[in-house]
Structure formats: C-alpha cells, structure tokens
Structure 1
Amino acid sequence: MHDGPVPEGADRGARPRPAATVMLLRPAGSPGARDGADGPMEVLLMRRVRSMGFAPGAYVFPGGRVDGRDADGGVPWTGPGPEEWARTLGTDVPAARALVCAAVRETFEETGVLLASEPERADEGAITLDTSPEDWERDRLGLIDRSRSFTEVLSRRGLVLRSEWLRAWSRWITPRAEPRRYDTWFFAAELPPGQVPRDVGGEADLSLWTDPAAVAAEWEAGRMPMLPPTVASCAELARCRTLRGVREARRDIVPIEPVVRKVGGQLCVVVPNGVDYPLPKPGATP
C-alpha cells in the first residue's frame, strides 16, 4: 500500500487493485522446524529497495498484486477449497482462488519459500521441500517474468498448493485519497519444515526475522519505516504471543479502509481504532 501524500491532480477515486500478502512465522531462533508452538515466535520482514517507486525503504511482508492467471482453476490444491475460502474472505469463488494462489506464488517469488508439497504427503506433519537448486530458481524467475504459470510449475513437479497452511488474517484497503490503491488480504503461515527464506534480490535488499512485539518501538523510533497495515498486523501478532496463539486467534475478515487527514499539523493515516500513522513528507524517503 502506498503511503505518500497525494500528488496534485491525482485520481482520488482510483479503484483498488486486489493483492495478497503473507506474514511468514516461525518459532524464535528456529531454522525452520514446525515446532515450538508455545514458545516465542518471529515474523519475516523484507526491506524494499530504495529505488522502488512504491514504498521505497519500507519493511513489508512478502506479497503483491493478484495476477490474472492466479484464478486458473487448474491449480492442484489441498485443504479448504475455493468455495470455503470465498466464505472466509468475503469474495466470490474466482477471487478467492486468485487470492490464495497469489499469496503462495508471491511468497515463493520473493523468498523462495513454497507452501506446497507432494500430494501423497499432504497429510504428513514433516514435509521438506528444497527450492534452492538451480532448476527451482529458473521456475521462480519464470513466474516473475510471466514465461511460466504457477499451475504449470506445480503440475510439472507433481506438487499441490497447501491452502490449509494459510490462515486468513485481515483485509486492508488503501485510503481513497491515494493515487495508487490496493485491496490487500493478509494471511498468516508458518514456515514449512526444511525450508529457509533466501535473499533473492529484486524488490528487497534485506530480509530479517524479528519479534513482532519489537516492531512498534522500532517503527516509532524511525529505525524501521513501515506502512500502517504492517505495523498494525505485527501488533496483532504480538498479542497472540505464540504460534499456537496465532492458530487459535478468531479473525473476522472485514475491510479496513483508513482515512488521510491532518493531525497536529502533520498528514496522517488514521485507522478505525483511532491510531494515527504519520505519513512521510513530500519527496522524503522513509
């Protein structure tokens, strides 16, 4: 989501584009084992390169816009089906399918972590998938340049998307005053065993695991610039305390659309809970 001031003459009624983002979680200090559900946890954050036209230098979760091919009905799939996801996300079935696929695809493109497995192992607890070899890297780059589809990559490798590894968390819509708007569904997912996020370059120049409870102080001190939904989501994760807490959290997926207004002479994003998030000044790099 874009947090810059509105340029003169910008379209104030821009239609938000659908997007999906994933809060990737693991037990604190763990290299990726699916254990420690009752201990401290960490969330993966990525810092966008400063040359990006959108949110340069901001810490974000992996994610991005929905691609038209994400609605492909041929994606091999386990867990809740698109119909159930549509009820959970508050969308129609094609949109739900596209959002779930976009969440998994974008996470793989940006981190190398793939929420998928072999179908015959879909009910097993310990599943290891190594996406670091060169042939996997070709697939990842092919998804980015659109020379390969997500359905093709999974089907050719005999893998299924594990929708049960995703948990719907929230939905944020960019304020109406912004020229570039997104309708973003947030998901939580635990890091699959054996997989390790990679610094793959592209849109991010740094990836780090951090305690979600430490994020607010870092943001307030100006050491970790973030968009309001990222700060708010980390605060919600912190209140859950553990992976088990995240698994058991009750979430109502309703649209959250902040407004932009001046607070104390400074332009801020104001969310429904009354929290003010100051916007960067025109031309400033967060």
Structure 2
Amino acid sequence: MPDDPIPAATLVIFRDRPDAPPELLMVERAKAMAFAGGAMVFPGGRIDPGDHILAQASGAGEDGAARIAAIRETLEEAGLAIGLSPQPSPAQVVAIRARLHAGEGLAAILADERLAIDPDVLVPFARWLPAHAHMRIFDTLFFLVRAPDEAVATVDRTENVRLIWTGAAELLAQADAGHVTIIYPTRRNLERLALYADYDDAVADARAYPVRTITPFTEDRDGVAHLCIPDDLGYPITAEPMSAAMRG
C-alpha cells in the first residue's frame, strides 16, 4: 500500500438519452501530465485544504471535502456548475471559473455570488486506491451526478485538451480500436457504467453496493498474471491480463 496517496475526487456526469444508453462526460488529459497523460478520464482532481474548510462550514458529511473537490474541479475543468444553489447563470459560471483559475478560493467566490453549495446531489459510487511502485497514487472517491439542464461543457485546455459526451460502451469500443487511451480503473468503471439504462438505474445500483476501497491486486490465472479487483462490488469484469492493463 502506498505511504502517501493523494486524496482526490471525481464526478461521473450523466446525460440521459431517450433511445440510447446515457452519455457520460469524459476529458482527455494533456500528454505532458505526469498522471494518466493522454488518457480519457472523468473530471476531477485532488482534494485541497480549502475543500475541507468549506465542507466543515457547510456541515457536509464525512466525505464532504471530496464532494466539494469534485464540484470545484468540474467547474475548473469543464465549466459545469454542479451542486450549486440556486443554479448560476451562464455568465456567473464563466466568472466563477475564471476566478478559480486565478487561484481564488471557492468559499469566497460563492459568498460573493450569493450561492450555496449542495454536495448532497452527488451519489457515492466507488473508491479506488491503486498500489503500484514508482507512480503517483491517488485515493479517489467517485460520485454519480446528473448533468444540469441546458448546461454546456467546455474544456479548460490546461491539464485537459478535449472533452466529449459519450456512452460507456462507445468509449470502450474506441479504446479497444486504439483510438483513445483509458487506464485500468477507468476501464473497470466504464464496464460497470455500461450496464445502466439511465441515471436512475445507475443510482439504484450504486446504492445496492457498499463503497469499499478497491486496491487492484495481481493473481496468477492459468499461468498468466492478471490484475484483479474484488468480485462483490458490482463490476462485471474483475480481472485483466497484466500485459494488457494500462496503469496510470
């Protein structure tokens, strides 16, 4: 187990479609990034000290800082205001995002804009804590959330270079064809997300399983080393040959 994993949080943002599986928002990491460079990931990032302060001030629960970090990072990376009340106008979102990029704290920005944070709109989905040597390790909480109506996501073009709305199965097919890169935790989560017909279906399934920390482990299967995860947390595929596994 890594000595100093970086606490982080991410949002799995759903946009239901009437005659197709839901779309998810994915961002492509810049190739120069030390972690998951060039890979498609869910928006999110590390939990900052200010997230803990705001969580305490707002009376958020035990995972409140993670929820606030996921909300803040999504504002920065994709320009989507999730978990804010009342829903800010497009002009407010642009202004908030610019101030976050300039290094201002979210708490002060929300006070100026007369907005409150509502972290309870996020639904806990999973927690991943890989354990591999000589790589940056993140202890990441994943949350489900529905995309705001009429909101338009735009990439920040700093850490990320592109964003797309795509079905989980569609992105897996793109990865299998070699058109995009996804790392091991993202692949396992996409495989699980591909099971859902819509956001409500995803929420029901998420609540049916405990959020237990997932640390992939190696296991020999018929003479082939596999990277595995527990088989009791709702994931349809729980092992992949080490030779094929893409790690961060």
TM-score of the superposed pair, with normalisation by structure 2: 0.83
1:100-139 residue pairs with structure 2 within 5 A? 100-118=67-85, 121=86, 127=87, 129-131=89-91, 135-139=95-99
Q: Tell me the SS of whatever aligns to 2:151.
A: coil
Q: Tell me the SS of whatever aligns to 2:194.
A: helix
Identify which of 2, 8, 11 aligns with 1:22: 11
2:213 pairs with 1:255: yes
Residues 162-187 of structure 1, C-alpha deviations (whole Å, 9 max, x = no match): 22321110000012435321110001
- Provide closer, same or farther for how the CA distance between residues 264 and 52 of structure 1 changes in structure 2, counting only shifts above 3 A: farther
- Provide closer, same or farther for how the CA distance between residues 17 and 243 of structure 1 changes in structure 2, counting only shifts above 3 A: same
- Greater relative contact order: 1 or 2 (C-alpha under 8 angstroms, separation 6 or more)? 1
Paired residues in the alignment total: 238
- Provide closer, same or farther for how the CA distance between residues 51 and 18 of structure 1 changes in structure 2, counting only shifts above 3 A: same
Q: Distance in 1 between matches of 2:3 and 2:224?
A: 24
- Provide closer, same or farther for how the CA distance between residues 230 and 155 of structure 1 changes in structure 2, counting only shifts above 3 A: same
Tell me by how many angstroms 1:259 deviates.
Answer: 2.2
Identify which of 163, 172, 187 aligns with 1:216: 172
Q: Distance in 1 between matches of 2:99 and 2:223?
A: 49
Q: Distance in 2 between matches of 1:58 and 1:260?
A: 23
Tell me by how many angstroms 1:75 deviates.
Answer: 7.2
What is the RMSD of the two structures over their aligned residues, measured on CA atoms?
Answer: 2.8
Unaligned runs of 5+ in 2: 232-237
- Provide closer, same or farther for how the CA distance between residues 133 and 270 of structure 1 changes in structure 2, counting only shifts above 3 A: closer
Unaligned runs of 5+ in 1: 1-11, 29-35, 87-95, 122-126
1:77-226 residue pairs with structure 2 within 5 A? 77=58, 81-83=59-61, 86=62, 96-118=63-85, 121=86, 127=87, 129-131=89-91, 135-142=95-102, 146=103, 148-226=104-182
- Provide closer, same or farther for how the CA distance between residues 264 and 111 of structure 1 changes in structure 2, counting only shifts above 3 A: farther
Q: Which amino acid aligns with 1:205?
A: V
Q: Which amino acid aligns with 1:213?
A: A
Tell me by how many angstroms 1:199 deviates.
Answer: 1.9
Q: Distance in 1 between matches of 2:138 and 2:40?
A: 17
Q: Distance in 2 between matches of 1:242 and 1:153?
A: 33
Q: Which amino acid aligns with 2:216?
A: P
